[in-house]
Chains A and B, each alone.
Chain A
Amino acid sequence: MSIPVLAMTASDFSSAQEVRWCPGCGDYSILSQLKQALASFGVRRENIVFVSGVGCASRLPHYINTFGFQGSYGRAPALATGVKLANPNLQVWVVMGDGDACSAGLTHLTHALRRNVDLKILLINNEVFGLSRGQQSPTSRVGTCSKTSPDGSVETPLRPVSIALAAEATFVARTVDVDVNHMSEIFEKAAMHRGSGFVEIYQNCKIFNDGVFEYATDAVIKTDSIIHLEHGRPILFGKDRNHALRLNGFEPEVVTLGQGITMDDILIHDERAAEPTLAFLLSRLVGPQFPECLGVFRNVRKPTHQQLLDAAFQQGDPPRAFESLLAGDESWTLA
């Protein structure tokens, strides 16, 4: 049987709704790459659902001509779980901002991940509340000046990739809004994954937190401040790819190849490792002390929520007939 391949283009995925983000917003690039990626998958539009919550990022479903549902603050993973339970054949994407996902939605996010619901979750992280006009978010780094932290935020930020790994996510990746090729590659991998796919996207908010990811986007700086994770390869970075990561006990350290340090000393990235311990360690690397990782942290196969439910259904007694449930176990008949 041949599988029909649909010839679709990104414009097939454009909705009639006028796109409204601020000029220069990173969301434009994400939307554009997402539509490109969707066109390449060959999944029919009617079988795709985008679910979101509240915030700039959560407007995204309105701009894509698939099924879309914008829910209330932070609840998108729960809504999407419901969609998926209703129809397991749908490809369901969840789009959340950092305020949405890591404030109100953290509970729902972590539970969707631990259940391994077959969802593609995009966490668009600009480390600030945008639509509510510039307050600190749970991912704002310490010292971020915002409307609610004029002297610099004092709270320790959450790291979304660390949270996803701790929540037993089976696919965890990070990409950045301006690197369109990398973003496409990650979207495709997330879409192919069976189970919860979690992608953090570093996104620049031009108005309220401009340049916060410059170290990951500036062509010159990023070579030394970004690691591109590659499965099965040693973790190298830098213009000359001579900087590397190695483990000193349980501590990561940056080393330079040569002077007694050989490739044998270098940490090899294994996205398929059964335990996410090393992936977690990589998720903890933050600048300026360390380079930050982009790419796939974890990619393991585990049964999806629906597969587990279906398997459980087959266990034990067969379902009882409706009539038998109506009558219950202790009925009696009066003449």
Chain B
Amino acid sequence: MPGTTLTIARSTIPHGTPVERAAAVVRFAGDANDGVLLVGTQFTYACAMVGNAVMTVPDPAAEIRAPAGALAGVTAFQCHFAGHAIHTPGDRLDLLVALNPSALRTYIGDLSPAGLLLVDSDRFVPDEWAKAGYVADPLQDAALQAFRVLAVPIRQLNREAVARVNLIPTEIERCKSFFVLGLSYWLFDRPPEPTFRWIRETYNKNPGLVEAHTRAFKAGWHHAETLGPGLQSRVGQRCLKSGKHRMINGATALALGFLAAARQSGLPMVYAGFPVAPASELLHLFTEWKQENIQVIQPEDDLAAANIALGAAFGGSLGVTATTSTGIALQADTLALAAISELPMVAVHVQRAGPSLGMPTRTEQADLLQAFYGRNGECPVVVLAQSSPSDGFRIAIEAVRLAVTRMTPVVVLTDTYLMSASEAWHVPSSSELPMVLAKQTKADPEHPLLPYSRDEHLARPWAIPGRAGLEHRTGGMEKEANTGAVSYDPANHEAMVALRARKIAKIAEKLPPLVVHGPKSGDVLIVAWGSVCGATHDAAERCRAAGLNVANIGLTHLSPLPADLVGVLRKYRRVLVPELNAGQLSKILRAEYLLDVVSLNKVQGQPFLVSEIEAKVRQLLGPC
């Protein structure tokens, strides 16, 4: 490419050697059209490609088309990168890039006292302050004195950088994000080469854009060099192991897990999903992926979605649906039907802040009790929880395994935060995936089908239409044991209720032992489930590093709870249960084990900070 080199000239300006650090947290924030998602993603890849552990989370704008510069239009992307394993996108920011006053106002509270604040000073003009509700220039505010503020006229410098390339005004503005990227890369000493390659591949049909984006990037980089000493730091330690990696969010991991389960079981799959964010991510992915063995349908509502999945399970396919919010309550009806007809379907329930519509873009864990108990009648089902973005892959396969071997509906709980948070994932080889054994009954003229007879797991036969000799009727009415005929017999009903419960409870016998991180007995055990597992683990690690006697476990099997859980709980003086609800797992643990646990609850639509959990542990342990 004439005029464009894929290397960058290292500066001769003295700015000291970069400060080595273990981890850093960066957040890019601005209007949707400031390209913060692109900048954040590129920055993340730059970190991941040098082998840092990375975890990211976007913070989408509250409104889809908010006016430029408005508070409701602020979009952000956060990246936590480290030379050691990390499990959250980070608490406090080491760098906040605020591309307009609204972004500053929204996020300045999250900046670490020692943090860097990078702003586009061209956007800090009275009109723009006003949109953020400021009455004076916030950059002159004494409150910002606590931080190191880099006020860079980004718009102007970017225009100068690309002036020699023939671009239309919107293209010039779009290059601005690469100026920001260049600045940020220098601040953390990230290698620019992969981004240069990305620019060249992305704009390969337009040499002018390749040149402009590269120039903008370099201008940002070189401008950073002039900002003064002591600004540059780096996370040099490698954490990721060898092999092929990708970034993966919770939604993609779940969807790939279902794809893998279908492949590994040899079952065709029917995915039925009503469009409701963020569950619709799965619908989008399956539609886009368009696989031979997957039928995708967008039904008329969440009840239809669940019923289509269940009908598909009756028909011999893997029936999968996903929903969120009020749809979770709607699907309770179908899950009860699946439980009594004993058919294998999987419902992914993405928890978001409720009740009812609540705060639709915010996360929560308040649907646990509904997953446990929220159906009519005595109706236990399997409940699993995804505990990190990439964990979705394993959980989806586990959900399918339990559904098809136990002939039961399975609820997979996840949440808004996990669906969009991403981390680096070691891509498994397709040959090393576990097989999923789905046993569909074959007709046997010697032994007529008893559709409600039991195997060693207490599962009934999966007798699918199309196979002669297996004709039978099922549905929502109570079944006579073995024959499956409709029965009102009192003793039979009680026996069937007990049998269905035992079938679910029995799963606990075969679960792998719980993994306890930290001391095997002692002062405090933190019990986490779902997305709280990440912050819990990091908090426990910090406590242990400080010499505290703290262990932690993360539960992925919630119903049934692992058989060894009660034994583990009893080995600690205090059990702490942090949850993004008003204390739902706590309630279950108290009810199941008559064991008092300490709840740490947060119901703000936001994930826990690691520091919040750590503080609670320290409070429990009392003054040292």
Contact = CB atoms under 8 A, between A and B. Distances in A.
Interface residues of B, number: 70
A47 B465 contact: yes
Given A46-B471, A67-B314, A69-B311, 8 more contacts: A45-B471, A54-B476, A82-B310, A82-B317, A107-B301, A325-B256, A330-B246, A334-B243
A81 B242 CA distance: 46
Contact of A107 (B256, B259, B300, B428): B300
B558 interface: no
Interface of A: 15-17, 44-52, 54, 61-62, 65-72, 75, 78-87, 89-90, 107-108, 111, 309, 313, 316-317, 319-320, 322-323, 325-328, 330-335
13 contacts: A71-B337, A72-B476, A78-B300, A81-B304, A82-B307, A86-B295, A107-B300, A107-B304, A111-B299, A320-B289, A330-B45, A334-B238, A334-B241
Nearest to B268: A86
Interface string B465-496: 11111111111110000000110000000000
Contact of A81 (B260, B268, B297, B430): B297
Contact of A83 (B312, B428, B472, B475): B312
Contacts of B527: none
Contacts of B247: 328, 330
Contacts, number: 204
Given A87-B465, A107-B300, A82 B319 contact: yes
A78 B314 CA distance: 12
A51 B311 contact: yes
B334 interface: yes
Closest 9 CB pairs of A and B: A82-B311, A86-B315, A70-B475, A68-B473, A78-B307, A86-B317, A79-B311, A82-B308, A82-B312
B309 A72 contact: no
Contacts of A313: 290
A71 to B, nearest CB: 6
B311 A81 contact: yes
A67 B259 CA distance: 28
B308 A332 contact: no
B465 A67 contact: yes
B240 interface: yes
A67 B475 CA distance: 11
Contacts of A331: 244-246, 427
Interface string B441-479: 000000000000000000000001111111111111100
A52 B471 CA distance: 16
B569 interface: no
B289 A325 contact: yes
Contacts of B45: 330, 332
Contacts of A72: 333-334, 336-337, 476
Q: Main SS of chain A's interface residues?
A: mixed
Q: Main SS of chain B's interface residues?
A: mixed
B304 A75 contact: yes
B262 to A, nearest CB: 9
B556 to A, nearest CB: 21
A66 B311 contact: no
Interface string B337-349: 1000100000000
A78 B308 contact: yes
Given A86-B312, A108-B300, A67 B471 contact: yes
Contact of B467 (A46, A326, A328, A333): A46
B303 A75 contact: yes
Contact of B430 (A111, A322, A335): A322
B404 interface: no
Interface string B303-338: 111011111111111010000000000000110110
Given A72-B337, A75-B334, A83-B315, A15 B307 contact: no
B430 A323 contact: yes
Nearest to B267: A86
Contacts of B290: 313, 316-317, 319-320
A108 B314 CA distance: 18
A326 B427 contact: yes
B428 A62 contact: no
B509 to A, nearest CB: 31
Which of B260, B299, B465, B466 has the most chain A CB within a 10 Å cutoff?
B465
Contacts of A108: 300, 303-304, 307
